[in-house]
Structure 1
Amino acid sequence: MLYIKANNESFLTESHRVMGLLIGLCYDLKADYLKAGFSAAEVMEFDDEETIIGLEDALFQLGHQVERIGNGRALARRLAKGDRWDLVFNIAEGIKGRSREAQVPAVCELFAQPYTFSDPLTCALTLDKALAKRVVRDRGLPTAPFEVVSTLEEAAAVSLPMPLFLKPVAEGSSKGVTGRSLVKEREELVAVCRELLKQFHQPVLVETFLPGKEVTVGIIGNGSTARVVGVTEIFFTDKAEFAAFTTLEKGKKMEGNRERIFYRQVTDEEPLAAQARQLALVAYYTLSCRDVARLDLRCDAAGVLYFLEMNPLPGLNPVFSPLPIMAEWAGLSYVKLIDEIVESAWERYKCPNSSPRR
């Protein structure tokens, strides 16, 4: 696979770009689940029609045939019936369970169907924030001290010093993150844990609060070709619902948050950029991510970056998702971003012995 350099940006030459694939789109459409009776809170991670149309248009412009598949159950039915695609472009989140993001990759592997993005193990591991933090911590990467609380007795016994930050251990799109997530008093800790345990029916991640800057980092590629697309700092206005913290894991709330949250490109000349790039790439390899991912980092009071969480299925809304925004700032159009994702996945199947790790 040939890469050339222009304005510090790597990209595939047109003559080496794969074209003419039959690509199936696998996704969870928010409107479908709302019609089926799910609540807005249950489907906040899912995609809008705008995202699906954006992906279709980009893939059509790249010369591919595109067929909508739908959610994981629709994919399983089609594969069992004998349908196949050159590549499944998967952005499906799944509806229930901490392994829900692994469901579509697992079904694809069961039927030997090529697909984009990380495998079932990485998708399941990274959705459970505590498990992901243990893996990167064992690699020697900095992450805030944390405990996992499953009962009120465990909440009362938390030994970490205040202030603390609380959120469900396996949710996305900032679900469960509110103004009460930042806990400064021991009495608050048990009360907030009680609320989260009751609402989300899963353990609560309790971690030391990091008061510094928060950045999100986009990475694309595999092995030696993996590179950072951009580093972006997240800011909050005085209208922010929960000032000074968020993960914006999918960027799905940005449409309604434009008056509350905004982004700033961290330039290569800033020391924060080099620190973020290095930590992000090592975390990407450590968690065996593939094709593309976006991860969140946050600084302590001294300005040292710590790993927060990894998202191997980053939002791809062409208007407000963080990854396309930072790609555009780096000179990578939305169409080109999708092109590189497809190329990265296709190369893995052409070279099956290649590894996402360095």
Structure 2
Amino acid sequence: MSDRWVAVLSGGLSHERDVSLRSGRRLSAALRSAGLTVTELDADHELLHRLNVERPEAVLVALHGGEGENGAIQSILELLDIPYVGTDPRACRRAWDKPTAKAELARAGLTTPEWMVLPQSTFRELGAHPVLDSLVDKLGLPLMLKPVQGGSALGARVVRDPSELPSAMMGAFSYGDTVQVEKLVEGTEIAIGVLEDSDGPHALPAVRIEPSRGIFDYTARYTAGLTSYQAPAELPEDVARRASELAISAHRLLGLRDISRTDAIVDASGEVHFLEVNVSPGLTATSLLPMAIEADGRGLGEVFDGLVERAIERRS
């Protein structure tokens, strides 16, 4: 049990504000149950002043999307010289941009679905139909479209017929000016959490994801009953090992710290494909990381209490 005083940041102004608030409340309750004193703070115009005046011993970032994952809040915390749990700003930016992360991991030899990146300006300047026709010729069908930045599958959509592409592109563009178009790999979707301790990063048990509607979109993620989960995932031993190695490799290669979650898919041959990585995983009642922590025989408060100690030691 710890007697530390920490601040949990949640909320903010991203599209994922509601999810972030739920993550923040659950994390705060878990930390209090572990004996910590917790101040809950929204990421608003008063945040900088409050942190500078109150000076908690450490900060935990439960922000999703935007400032919580692109390194902005982490940069502020470093300016204020306040210890915080999680990845540093530069590595946050690498992980936040999905094509940047995929390219870096592909160069290192990790398997990831083939992809292309298309800014909205390309459609305006070259015409939507010629671009979309060329896209299908290059990558084939089906495809997964998603904004290059952001989380919770907002703006993401599977396209199985060319007629669906224009509306799918517009839906993705509503969450950002650039879209990643990825060859869809059919198979078993899994998430693998990674936690660090004094011995380095360790993979948590993989969580298997089975959405009832076929796609793990925003509604399927945060509506109880629409998705079934299996933690730990029932996978062949060699597949489970490769999934763990993939997640640890992604964590290390991107320079992540303390905690991360890698999303992947296992195809029919047992190949594990990297999809994306998250430096601020959700902590709601239907989120994947808490399931993995529980499957590992630990509690949320216990794990984050340990991460708080690591953050404080880094600044001492």
Counterparts in 2 of 1:222 and 1:140: CA distance versus 1, 3 Å: farther
* TM-score (structure 2 length as normaliser): 0.86
Structure 2, gaps ≥5 residues long: none
User: Aligned residue for 1:20?
Assistant: 3
Deviation at 1:295, TM superposition (A): 1.1
Distance 1:347 1:262 in 2: 39
User: Aligned residue for 2:158?
Assistant: 182
Distance 2:9 2:139 in 1: 42
Q: Does 1:213 align with 2:182?
A: no
Name which structure has the greater RCO, CA cutoff 8 Å, separation 6+: 2
Q: Deviation per CA, 1:195-248: give whole Å up to 9, x if none.
A: 432x224211101110111110011115733111211111122xx2xx1x3377
User: Aligned residue for 2:272?
Assistant: 305
Q: Deviation per CA, 1:80-105: give whole Å up to 9, x if none.
A: x5431211111123657xx8642210
Q: Which structure has more helix as a fraction of its residues?
A: 2
User: Aligned residue for 1:71?
Assistant: 43
Counterparts in 2 of 1:279 and 1:100: CA distance versus 1, 3 Å: closer
User: Aligned residue for 2:142?
Assistant: 163
Q: Is the 1:105–1:119 contact (alpha carbons within 8 Å) kept by the matching residues of 2?
A: yes
Q: How does 1:228-267 map to 2 (within 5 A)?
A: 228-237=203-212, 240=213, 243=214, 245-246=215-216, 254-256=221-223, 258-264=224-230, 265-266=232-233
User: Aligned residue for 1:58?
Assistant: 30
Counterparts in 2 of 1:156 and 1:64: CA distance versus 1, 3 Å: same
User: Aligned residue for 1:349?
Assistant: 315
Q: Is the 1:72–1:94 contact (alpha carbons within 8 Å) kept by the matching residues of 2?
A: no
Counterparts in 2 of 1:163 and 1:100: CA distance versus 1, 3 Å: same
Q: Is the 2:116–2:182 contact (alpha carbons within 8 Å) kept by the matching residues of 1?
A: yes
Across the aligned residues of Structure 1 and Structure 2, the Cα RMSD in angstroms comes to 2.6
Q: Is the 2:220–2:226 contact (alpha carbons within 8 Å) kept by the matching residues of 1?
A: no
Deviation at 1:345, TM superposition (A): 2.4
Q: Is the 1:94–1:103 contact (alpha carbons within 8 Å) kept by the matching residues of 2?
A: no
Distance 2:226 2:176 in 1: 29
The sequence identity of aligned pairs, in percent, is 27
Q: Does 1:135 align with 2:104?
A: yes
Q: Is the 1:247–1:296 contact (alpha carbons within 8 Å) kept by the matching residues of 2?
A: no
Deviation at 1:253, TM superposition (A): 5.6
Distance 1:94 1:255 in 2: 16
Deviation at 1:120, TM superposition (A): 1.3
SS of the residue 1:78 aligns to? helix
* TM-score (structure 1 length as normaliser): 0.77
Counterparts in 2 of 1:269 and 1:184: CA distance versus 1, 3 Å: closer
Q: Does 1:196 align with 2:166?
A: no
Distance 1:108 1:282 in 2: 27
The equivalent position to 2:20 in structure 1, one of 46, 66, 74, is 46
Counterparts in 2 of 1:342 and 1:143: CA distance versus 1, 3 Å: same
The equivalent position to 2:61 in structure 1, one of 90, 102, 109, is 90
Deviation at 1:24, TM superposition (A): 1.5
Q: Is the 1:23–1:64 contact (alpha carbons within 8 Å) kept by the matching residues of 2?
A: yes
User: Aligned residue for 1:323?
Assistant: 289
Structure 1, gaps ≥5 residues long: 1-13, 351-358
Distance 1:300 1:60 in 2: 41
Question: Which letter maps to 2:165?
Answer: L
Question: Which letter maps to 1:272?
Answer: V
Distance 1:67 1:194 in 2: 40
Q: Does 1:110 align with 2:79?
A: yes
